[in-house]
Amino acid sequence: MMATAAVEPGQLRVGFVGAGRMAEAIAQGLVRAGKVKNQHVLASAPSDRNLCRFRTLGCQTTHSNREVLQNCSLVFFATKPHVLPSVLAEVAPVVTAEHILVSVAAGISLSILEELLPSGARVLRVSPNLPCVVQEGAMVMARGRCVGSSEAQLLQTLLEACGQCQEVPEAFLDIHTGLSGSGVAFVCTFSEALAEGAVKMGMPSALALRLTAQTLLGTAKMLLQNDQHPAQLRTDVCTPGGTTIHGLHALERGGLRAATMSAVEAATRRARELNRK
């Protein structure tokens, strides 16, 4: 097997142990962006239930986890967290120094992963979020002790096919769970409330929901493309005595800012508790 860091992304053989929605989203992003050829992707799962979606992408499938390791140099472990230790024990005998192993499972630290795998294994953790499904994910990654800059850069480049990916200290992964993982639900709750406000004032629900989604999309693009602080964009929308400042006053009276900060804090604390179990 060729050392992974020396392989051009287009020639890379990528494996997925676990074939759920997040694994499919990452594979789909890699294939559609031309980062990896579909015939160079191999996914494993106990049953055909999820593997059929990989076959639809033109990827290879198997029921053998070891086969994935034996044929792929970059392998994503996308199983449920409680299943991962037994899966790693199963594949450990075929792990080599040339593998790059990426865990997508929440709650299992790099130190634990390194304990469960052969000495010197190159291990990284990635925390994705659901918008990876539409290639607009917010992802962070952290590297283990044996991972060099070239391997980390390779993984980051590949994952950018699924959205934005930043390398961070491992401690930030739990915060990312509270911010970007759980944040999808927080944004959806705010979106629903925003649309319901329009419905209250007489707008049909379907139209209100569509306009709300487009408003969020456009705002996010402006923040990303212009690298603006949200406060600056908010100020640009606010005119003295206008509609926006009256609406913002109502949000402040309702405690939106404090409630949102508390939501991220609560989700982060829960992620940390799960990591200690």
79 is in an annotated binding site: yes
Closest CA relative to residue 128, chosen from 203, 44, 21: 21
3-state secondary structure of 194: helix
80 is in an annotated binding site: yes
Residues contacting residue 188 through CB under 8 Å, at least 6 positions apart:
none
- The pLDDT of residue 244 is 95
Domain regions of the chain by residue span: 4-169, 181-276
* 10 exposure class (CB count in 10 Å sphere: 0-12, 13-18, 19+): exposed
| Domain 4-169 of CATH type 3.40.50.720 | yes
- The pLDDT of residue 5 is 45
221 is in an annotated binding site: no
3.10.129.10, 1.10.3730.10, 1.10.3720.10, 3.40.50.2020: CATH of 181-276: 1.10.3730.10
| 181-276 shares the fold of 4-169 | no
DSSP secondary structure string for all residues of 66-112: HHHHHH-SEEEE-S-TTTHHHHHHHHGGG--TT-EEEE--TT--HHH
Averaged in consecutive runs of 10 residues, what is the pLDDT profile of the chain (277 residues)?
A: 48 93 92 93 94 95 97 96 94 95 92 95 95 93 96 95 95 95 96 97 98 97 91 94 96 96 95 79
Distance CA 134, CA 190 (A): 20
- The pLDDT of residue 9 is 53
275 is in an annotated binding site: no
118 is in an annotated binding site: no
